């Protein structure tokens, strides 16, 4: 039997940057407690594979955070409601039907596997250019894992890559706003003002770019959305901005961590590095196992849109829900040897791209970028080795490294 204080303190530890390099023992302790219910926070936390999977498939699980009791209370107490409203990335990730369905449909065509596959030559030449500059000591983040997905998403959206230094800072701050400080502690966490400013800056930047593309359209996704807006009443300018914002941040803050986490896992199992160097056909298994073993998106949220029963818990409507995907992926009831990185395990399952109506729209693109990057890196540098400890950013949700030094 757990006391009320224990779950809260475990969750606070999860938000502490001190655990970022290896949060998995803590996730194990949380999972061992079973699902957690914190009635004072109107919060339930799930960490087993079966429970996370069930919530993602549950028809009453909503994504609009403003439906939560905590957000409603904040809005009631603060007429401006700024503390409760998501500062970003907004967009259809945080919407429910019918708006979610309408907006997702408008962009999903650009990300289907066939369309994405056509980008392969361009992705391969970007990787060539990046690796041509690599010398003996190489930071896998700034040298490959970050610039590749950023160049690709900018190209797709029609965002000038030369503006990147400006919006990368804003994107990084918005990624931090996904950490569940409000849900766990009842307050938005330090740096809230700075994140609000970054959100406002990025929205203004995108609004200006939309105006430019309106005058001078290209073959990019933003121009495509503008054409849809101008042809009828399917979406508004604010929705174009919110959608581009979501895609830009998703493109900046996720695939970088997939490429980096896979690189680190392979370097820590040198026989796996060598095996991939010799056989590029192993890339798909390496990538799926990385998405299980060390997922770039460690946790996601939902709100009980109605009273819900999940596993052994009954949740009242309005409760916030945290799904600790990274804990679920190490669940011994779902996986043999869960703490082992083993791309050869049979039928790798994971929730790394989510599940159900919000399943990641960028999954084919992320998989393709990671395949090209990892096969090129291992085959060109079959003797690469770790050259120091990786350093981590403070983010808990979009957990990732800021530096991964390797010797080539
Ligand atoms: C390895 C890289 C990536 C990972 C691990 C990842 C993970 C996820 C996860 C877990 C979700 C579901 C969130 C939820 O259910 O609440 C999601 C949704 C989403 N992802 Fe990704 N993502 C990645 C790359 C990308 C890329 C490259 C893009 C686009 C350029 C993208 C765009 C989106 C969008 C738009 C959604 C919202 C889908 C919806 O609400 O219908 N993602 N992603």
Taking the centre of ligand 1 as the mean of its atom positions, its distance from the CA of residue 262, in whole angstroms, is 18
From the CA of 257, give the closest atom in ligand 1.
1
> Cα 31 from chain centroid?
21
Reduced to 3 states, what is the DSSP secondary structure of residue 217?
Answer: coil
**pLDDT score of 160:** 92
CB proximity list for 286: less than 8 A, separation 6 or greater:
262, 265, 266, 272, 276, 343, 374
CA 406 vs. chain centroid, Å, equals: 24
pLDDT at 12: 92
- Ligand 1: list residues with CB < 6 Å: 63, 92-93, 104, 153, 246-247, 250-251, 254-255, 258, 296-297, 300, 352-354, 358, 360-362, 365-366
| Closest C-alpha to ligand 1, atom 8 | 353
- Ligand 1 atom nearest 302 alpha carbon: 16
Domains and CATH numbers, the chain: 5-407 (1.10.630.10)
Instruction: Please report the atom of ligand 1 found closest to the CA of residue 365.
Output: 27
Q: Which atom of ligand 1 is nearest to the CA of 107?
A: 35
Which residue's C-alpha comes closest to atom 6 of ligand 1? 353
pLDDT at residue 2, rounded to an integer: 44
Which pLDDT does position 80 carry in this prediction? 63
DSSP reduced 3-state for 397: coil
Strand 320-323 and strand 43-46: the pairing is parallel
Distance 348 CA to ligand 1 centre (A): 19
* pLDDT tens, the chain, 408 aa long: 444 448 888 999 999 999 999 999 999 999 999 999 999 899 999 999 999 999 999 999 999 988 999 888 878 877 665 555 554 446 999 999 999 999 999 999 888 888 899 999 999 999 999 999 888 889 999 999 999 999 999 999 999 999 988 888 888 888 888 888 888 887 777 888 888 888 889 999 999 999 999 999 998 999 999 998 888 878 899 999 999 999 998 988 999 999 999 999 999 999 999 999 999 999 999 999 999 999 999 999 999 999 999 998 999 999 999 999 999 999 999 999 999 999 999 989 999 999 999 999 999 999 999 999 999 999 999 999 999 999 999 999 999 999 999 999
Mapping DSSP onto H, E and C, the string for 133-147 reads CCCCEEEHHHHHHCH
* Ligand 1 atom, smallest distance to 248 CA: 30
- Tally Cβ neighbours within 10 Å of residue 335: 20
H helices of 270-402, in order, are 270-278, 283-293, 325-328, 363-380
Cα 135 to middle of ligand 1, angstroms = 33
- The pLDDT score that the predictor gives to residue 105 is 92
| Span from the CA of 204 to the centroid of ligand 1 (angstroms) | 23
Closest C-alpha to ligand 1, atom 38:
358
CA 64 vs CA 88, 98, 176, 309, 375: distances in Å: 12, 12, 18, 19, 39
């Amino acid at each position: 039997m757990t006391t009320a204080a224990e779950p809260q303190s475990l969750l606070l530890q999860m938000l502490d940057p001190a655990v970022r390099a290896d949060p998995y023992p803590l996730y194990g302790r949380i999972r061992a407690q079973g699902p957690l219910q914190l009635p004072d926070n109107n919060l339930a936390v799930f960490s087993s594979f079966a429970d996370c999977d069930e919530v993602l498939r549950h028809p009453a699980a909503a994504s609009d955070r403003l439906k939560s009791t905590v957000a409603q209370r904040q809005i009631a107490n603060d007429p401006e409601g700024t503390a409760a409203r998501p500062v970003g990335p907004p967009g259809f990730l945080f919407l429910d039907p019918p708006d979610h369905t309408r907006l997702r449909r408008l962009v999903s065509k650009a990300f289907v596997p066939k369309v994405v596959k056509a980008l392969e030559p361009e992705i391969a030449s970007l990787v060539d250019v990046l690796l041509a500059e690599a010398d003996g000591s190489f930071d896998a983040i700034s040298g490959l894992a970050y610039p590749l997905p950023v160049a690709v998403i900018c190209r797709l959206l029609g965002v000038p890559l030369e503006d990147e230094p400006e919006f990368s800072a804003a994107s990084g701050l918005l990624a931090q706003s996904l950490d569940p400080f409000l849900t766990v502690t009842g307050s938005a966490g330090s740096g809230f003002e700075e994140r609000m400013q970054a959100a406002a800056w990025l929205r203004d930047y995108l609004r200006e770019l939309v105006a430019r593309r309106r005058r001078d359209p290209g073959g990019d996704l933003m121009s495509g959305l503008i054409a849809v807006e101008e042809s009828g009443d399917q979406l508004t300018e604010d929705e174009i901005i919110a959608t581009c914002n979501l895609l830009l941040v998703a493109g900046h803050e996720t695939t970088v961590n997939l490429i980096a986490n896979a690189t680190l896992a392979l370097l820590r199992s040198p026989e796996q590095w060598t095996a991939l160097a010799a056989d590029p056909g192993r890339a798909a298994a390496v990538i799926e196992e990385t998405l299980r073993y060390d997922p770039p998106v460690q946790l996601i949220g939902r709100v009980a849109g109605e009273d819900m029963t999940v596993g052994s818990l009954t949740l009242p409507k309005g409760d916030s829900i945290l799904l600790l995907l990274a804990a679920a992926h190490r669940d011994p009831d779902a996986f043999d040897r869960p703490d082992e990185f083993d791309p050869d395990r049979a039928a790798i399952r994971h929730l790394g791209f989510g599940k159900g109506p919000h399943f990641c729209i960028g999954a084919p693109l992320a998989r393709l970028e990671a395949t090209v990057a990892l096969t090129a890196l291992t085959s060109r540098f079959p003797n690469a080795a770790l050259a120091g400890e990786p350093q981590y950013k403070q983010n808990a949700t979009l957990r990732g490294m800021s530096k991964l030094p390797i010797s080539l």
